[in-house]
Amino acid sequence: MTAPTKTPTHPDLHEPVIDWFAEHARDLPWRRPEAGPWGVMVSEFMLQQTPVSRVLPVYEQWLARWPRPADLAKEAPGEAVRAWGRLGYPRRALRLHGAAVAITERHGGDVPTGHAQLLALPGIGEYTAAAVASFAYGQRHAVLDTNVRRVFARAVGGVQYPPNATTAAERKMARALLPEEDETAAKWAAASMELGALVCTAKNENCHRCPIAAMCAWRLAGKPPHEGPARRGQTYAGTDRQVRGKLLAVLREAVAPVPQAVLDRVWDEPVQRARALDGLVDDGLVEPLPGGLYRLPAS
DNA sequence: CAGGCGTGGTG
DNA sequence: TCACCAAGCCT
């Protein structure tokens, strides 16, 4: 019997993908050693649903201004929202600020190393906890983001796209594919994600540049097109989200509290406008003051 | 668990 | 042009 006892399910995928990564990985600031766990964590918050190209400049400003969690923690949350700029989903800024406060209070100012501790922080879900633990601390976790899910769906599952929501089957597959060693697993996580971001993309798959094209189940099956309904497109024009965005843009630019009348100019329809503003206040993104004034939250 | 939550680039 | 997409989280 020559077979070793703990052979991974698909050991042949690891080496080509990791080697490809060594050659083609982008030189991103949060991948450099000087970024540290805090830099990794900040980047992960910003990258949630936001392209790398838009994150880069904000990331640099953020780290220069708040090089440690404690630096951000002592700021007003509104300053985090302001510095977030136009990255989108500004609740992330609030949550990152909240995470910095929690890190300062509960973890002595250092980004925690444990997956469960990370998961307990605001704005950190399953993906981000695994990503920080893996990228910042070299731990072995299944890091299942949209890129990795797509790569696995194709290379292993033989279909064009993964399911809309992450399934237990996907998690199981991701765990089964994980290399045994911590360090190798961390490289694998970063490499498989980068492959999905650069080569095995949603719209154009570039199989000629793919290091595992020869063993890709989807390609070998003749690249059958996605079956079933298309993903629900996110509508935007005319929604509360658009109104919220316009309201918050005014408040981000303002140095002093803004009168209601000024906010009223961003949207004609009064019911929707009021609903959007109320929502921002409920979310803690906007602080109402006496006299019909509004500003970003000071506390 | 489906739906809400920003923004700008792109085919 | 405009629908779709980009390293999710929370309720």
Q: Is the pLDDT of residue A11 over 70?
A: no
* Strand B reaches within 7 A of the A231 CB: no
* Rounded distance between C-alpha atoms, residue A234 and residue A60, angstroms: 29
The Å distance, CA of A236 to C1' of C3, is 11
pLDDT at A226: 86
Q: In this complex, which residue's CA is closest to the C1' atom of nucleotide B11?
A: A203
Least confident interval from A9-18, A85-94, A213-222: A9-18
Which of A44, A170, A205, A287 does the annotation list as catalytic?
A44
Q: Is the pLDDT of residue A2 over 60?
A: no
Percent of chain A with pLDDT over 70: 94
Percent of chain A with pLDDT over 90: 90
Q: What is the pLDDT of residues A54-64, one digit of tens each?
A: 999 999 999 99
Q: What is the pLDDT of residues A84-140, one digit of tens each?
A: 999 999 999 999 999 999 999 999 999 999 999 999 999 999 999 999 999 999 999
Residue A204's pLDDT band (boundaries 50, 70, 90)? confident
Q: In this complex, which residue's CA is closest to the C1' atom of nucleotide B9?
A: A51
Q: What is the pLDDT of residues A158-187, one digit of tens each?
A: 999 999 899 999 999 999 999 999 999 999
In the annotation, is A253 catalytic?
no
3-state secondary structure string across chain A: CCCCCCCCCCHHHHHHHHHHHHHHCCCCHHHCHHHHHHHHHHHHHHHCCCCHHHHHHHHHHHHHHCCCHHHHHCCCHHHHHHHHCCCCCCHHHHHHHHHHHHHHHHCCCCCCCCHHHHHCCCCCCHHHHHHHHHHHHCCCCCCCCHHHHHHHHHHCCCCCCCCCCCCHHHHHHHHHHCCCCHHHHHHHHHHHHHHHHHCECCCCECHHHCCCHHHCHHHHCCCCCCCCCCCCCCCCCCCHHHHHHHHHHHHHHCCCCEEHHHHHCCCCCHHHHHHHHHHHHHCCCCEEECCCEEECCCC
Strand partners, A205: A200
Q: Which nucleotides of B are covered by protein (CB under 7 A)?
A: 1-9, 11
For chain A, domains (ranges, CATH) are 27-137 (1.10.340.30), 146-220 (1.10.1670.10), 240-289 (no CATH)
* Strand C reaches within 7 A of the A131 CB: yes
